[in-house]
Structure 1
C-alpha cells in the first residue's frame, strides 16, 4: 500500500499536480492494517490536510477487503461521491491462519463497501488471483488493481506518468509494468485476460490420458477395470475417481484400491436410491475416504518427493540452477530426541527411492514407522470413517441429507501433522457424535439391510 501511494505521489508530481500524502504502516499493532491517504490538487489550488476527511474521498482503493470493510475507513466515503476499486481476493489474516475453517463473509463485506460508495462507478476485481496466475507472485496484486482504477477513469493521472513512476521505483520494473497494463486490459477487454487466469478444467478424458501415460501396463489394466466398474456414475464422480484411483495404486498397490472403489459404489447406490439426482454425498466420500487412505507417512513423503512433477515445480521457482535440499523431521527420530529438521541434499535421493520401494510394508508388522501413535491413528481413521458413513446411510433421505453430507465431510477437520493432526482427529470424532445424535433424533428409521 505504501509503495502504491509513493508511486501515485511521483506520478502526480510528474503531471504537475500538488500532492499531500499520509501513511499508516500498522507497525504499532502487529499485523495491523496499512492505510494511506492521498490528496491531489491542481497548481494554485489550496491543500489544507494530508488526510482525506470524512465523506470526501473520490476514490477508495481497497486492496485488503477485511480492512476496507471496517467502519473507520468507510467513513471517508460518500455514496454520492466515492468510487471504489475492490480487490475481492482475500488476503490471509491471522484468524484465517489460526483456523483454516474460518471463512470471512466476503459477500457481506462487499455489500458493506457498496453501501458507502457509488456502485455505478465502482469496480470489483480478483486482483490477487490475476497477479498469481500471470506472474506467480501475489506482490503484483496492488499494481493490477491500480491498472483497473486507471482504466476505469478513476485516477486523474496520465498513463505516461504512472509508468514513469513504476520505472523510477526501480523494483521489478517489467513485472510491475505488465501488472499495471494487465489491470488496464482487464477493464478494457476482460475476455483477453480471462483465459490467461482461468486454467482450463480437466475433463474425464484428460485425466485418464494423463494417468495412463505413467502407469505400468499391469497397473494401467487394473486402473481401466476400476473405472469401467464406475462407468454408470455421474461424470464428476468419474473424474474425481480417475485421479484418485491412480494415486492410490501408486500409493500402495492395486489391492489397496479395491475397498476404496467398492465403498464408493455402495455409497453412490444408496444415494441414488434415497435422494435421486443428488451426487454431492458420493463426491464427498470420494474426496475424504481418499484423503484418509492416502495419509502421508514416510513412504508417501518419499514417493511424493520423487515425482517428476515435484522436481519440475521446485526447479521452476528459480531462474538459475539450484541445489535441491530437503528438510525432514521424521516422528521416529523426534521420538529418539532429535529436535530439529535434517537438511538432506541430492545424496539422499537413493534412500528416498529405497523407502518408496518398501511402501508395501505399510501397516504390516515390519513397518517400523507404523508403530508411532499418529500412524496407528491414521490407519484407524479409515475404518472409523467407513463405519460412520455406513451408519449414516441407514437413515439417509431428503430430510437428513444435509446432516449425512456433513458427516461425510468430517475428515476435512483432520489436517496438519502429529499433535495438530491428532487434535483435528479429536474434533472430528466429537463432531461426529453431535451429528449422529441429530440423525437419531430426526425420527427417520434405520433402513433394513
Structure 2
C-alpha cells in the first residue's frame, strides 16, 4: 500500500493501457474471520499516549483508518485507538509522532470494566408503559460493519415468532469507510403486497444507531413530526474526514437533537450513549445496537414482545448471553433514567487532568487574582509548566497572563485564550518533554489498566537524527528504555541552552521563536485594544490551535498559522 504511488509512476512510463491490481483482504471480512476463529488475531495492539499526541491527524492520513479516534481533552483534540474496532494492521504507526506504543497484553488480562456489576445485577425491569402497536414501520440507520443488518434480521425474526408478518429491506454502505446503512422493516398482522421500502413520512419507530447518519435530510424525510418516535444512540462516531482533519469537529449534540425533534415526537424520543455503555460493560462497541433496541422496546416503540426479541437473539446464535444482557441494559436505561452503571468508571486509556497545586504553584496562581474559568485554566497549566521546566518558567507565563488581564479589564475571553495557547507554545514537546510524559504515572496506570501490569510494551520512536541518516521506519524500544527517558528528564535544565544538543534542530529553534512572536503579537493587540478590535484579538490569540504535530507535520502547520495571522492582520488594515 505504501508503494502505490511508486507503482503508478512506473506504469505511467509504459506505453498503452496498463492495469494496476491492488489485492488486499477486506478489513470487515478479516474481522468476521477472526471472530469465527478462521483467522489469527495478532497479539500486538497499538496504544497512544494522549499527553504526547498533538492531535495533528497524520496517523489518520497515513492509515485511512476509522479506529484512530479523535477525542477532546483539557489540552485540545488528541487521538485514541478505538480498541474494539481496531483491525491491528498497524499502519497508524506510520504517523510522524512519538506518542505510539505497541503492547502485548499480560497473559489472561482483561481490561477493568463495570461488566461484573451488571452480571450481579438482580433487578426486575417493568414492562413498557406504552403498549406497543400490533404492527408498524421500523426504520433504522447506522454505519456499515457494526451489525445494523443483523439487527434488522433479528427484529424480523422476532416478528415471525410473534405470529406477525415482516417485510424487510437493507440498503448497505461500505463498512471499510464507515458508509451509511439503512434498514427498513414493515411489521403487520397479516400478509401484505406493499413495497418493503418505507415511504416518506411513514416511519413509526426511528432507531438511530449513528446520530450523524440519523440527521441527514434523506433519512429524516422518512419521519413524520408528531408521529414518529425516535430512539437515538447519541454516541459520537467520527467520520473519515474528522479523523484526518483536526479542524473538523463533531457537530454539537444539542444541534443534532434539535434537528431530530423537528421531524419526530420530541416528548417521547429517547437518547442514550449506547457505545459508552457497550464498551464500558462489555468491552466492545458491537453491543451498542442491541442496547439501543432494548431502549426502543422499553419506550414502547417496537410492535414486538420482549420474549420474541430474546428468542430471536438466541436463534441468531452469536454472543447470545452478551446480546441478551445488552437488550436488558437498554431496557433499564429507559425504565430507570437515573441508572448509570458506569458513573465511577473512567474511559479506558484517558488520562484525566486533575490539578495538583503545591505551595509554589498556588502562590503563582493566587498572584493573578483570577477566578472562574481563567483560574481553572491556570490551576492546571501552572503546575504543568513548573514540571516542564521550573518555577521561573511558570512565573514568566503567569506574568504575561497578568498583563493581558489588566489590558482587557474584566472581559475574560482574551485572557482565557492566551492562557490556553501561550501554554501550548511554551510547553512544546521536545525530547525532554516526551520523555517526561511517557513516564507520567497517569500514562503508566492507563497501560496497566488496559493491558495488565506485566504487559510487554515498546515505545515506537523515529528519532530525527536517525531519520536524517536514512532510517525510514520507527524503532521499538522496550521498558528498559524508561531509564533513557528518566535520564532525559533530568537533562531538561539544558533546554534552550548552548548545551542542548536537541535544541539546534530546525523544529526546536522554530518552537522557541513562536513563543516570543506570540507574545509580541498579543502585546501589539493589547496596545490598541478597543471594543471594536476585541473579537479579532481573541481570534488571533486562538490561532496557535492550528500548530500541531511533530517535525515536518509541525513545520507545515506553522506555515499555515503564520498565513492565518497575516490574513487577520491584513483584514484589520483594509478600509471598511
The TM tier, using the shorter chain, reads 0.7 to 0.9
Q: Which moved more, 1:167-176 or 1:83-92?
A: 167-176
CA distance in 1, matches of 2:321, 2:430: 43
SS in 2 for 1:193: coil
| Among candidates 351, 355, 366, match of residue 228 of structure 1 | 366
Kept after mapping to 2: 8 A contact 1:395/1:439: no
Residues 360 and 3 (structure 1), Cα distance of their counterparts in 2 relative to 1, 3 Å cut: farther
State the 1:259 CA deviation: 0.8
Residues 370 and 57 (structure 1), Cα distance of their counterparts in 2 relative to 1, 3 Å cut: same
In the alignment, what sits opposite 1:265? 402
**Which deviations, in whole Å up to 9, do the C-alpha atoms of 1:101-147 show, x marking residues without a partner?**
22465555544443433334333444445555666754443334323
In the alignment, what sits opposite 1:90? 236
CA distance in 2, matches of 1:14, 1:319: 44
Listed as ranges, the matches of 1:32-47 within 5 Å are 32-42=179-189, 44-46=190-192
In the alignment, what sits opposite 1:354? 487
| Among candidates 190, 194, 198, match of residue 337 of structure 2 | 190
**Which deviations, in whole Å up to 9, do the C-alpha atoms of 1:61-118 show, x marking residues without a partner?**
1222332233332333233542222333432112222322224655555444434333
Structure 2: segments with no counterpart, 5+ residues: 1-147, 347-352
CA distance in 2, matches of 1:349, 1:334: 22
Kept after mapping to 2: 8 A contact 1:83/1:118: yes
In the alignment, what sits opposite 1:150? 297
Residues 150 and 395 (structure 1), Cα distance of their counterparts in 2 relative to 1, 3 Å cut: farther
TM-score, normalisation: structure 2: 0.66
| Among candidates 202, 206, 210, match of residue 56 of structure 1 | 202
Residues 373 and 141 (structure 1), Cα distance of their counterparts in 2 relative to 1, 3 Å cut: farther
In the alignment, what sits opposite 1:15? 162
SS in 1 for 2:191: coil
| Among candidates 341, 349, 355, match of residue 474 of structure 2 | 341
SS in 1 for 2:301: coil
State the 1:171 CA deviation: 5.5
Aligned CA-pair RMSD: 3.1
In the alignment, what sits opposite 1:388? 521
State the 1:154 CA deviation: 0.5
| Among candidates 414, 437, 443, match of residue 310 of structure 1 | 443
In the alignment, what sits opposite 2:132? none
Kept after mapping to 2: 8 A contact 1:392/1:439: no
Kept after mapping to 2: 8 A contact 1:251/1:300: yes
In the alignment, what sits opposite 1:215? none
State the 1:36 CA deviation: 1.7
Q: Per residue, is there more strand in 1 or in 2?
A: 2
Aligned residues between the structures: 422
Residues 242 and 135 (structure 1), Cα distance of their counterparts in 2 relative to 1, 3 Å cut: farther
Q: Does 1:435 align with 2:568?
A: yes
State the 1:431 CA deviation: 1.6
Q: Does 1:285 align with 2:418?
A: yes
| Among candidates 205, 222, 225, match of residue 79 of structure 1 | 225
Residues 183 and 319 (structure 1), Cα distance of their counterparts in 2 relative to 1, 3 Å cut: farther
Whose relative contact order is higher, 1 or 2, with alpha carbons under 8 Å and at least 6 apart?
A: 2
Kept after mapping to 1: 8 A contact 2:151/2:289: yes
CA distance in 1, matches of 2:171, 2:511: 47
In the alignment, what sits opposite 1:329? 462
**Which deviations, in whole Å up to 9, do the C-alpha atoms of 1:388-431 show, x marking residues without a partner?**
11111122233322211111111111122223222221222122
Q: Which moved more, 1:119-128 or 1:301-310?
A: 119-128
State the 1:20 CA deviation: 3.1
Q: Per residue, is there more helix in 1 or in 2?
A: 1
SS in 1 for 2:223: coil
SS in 2 for 1:406: helix
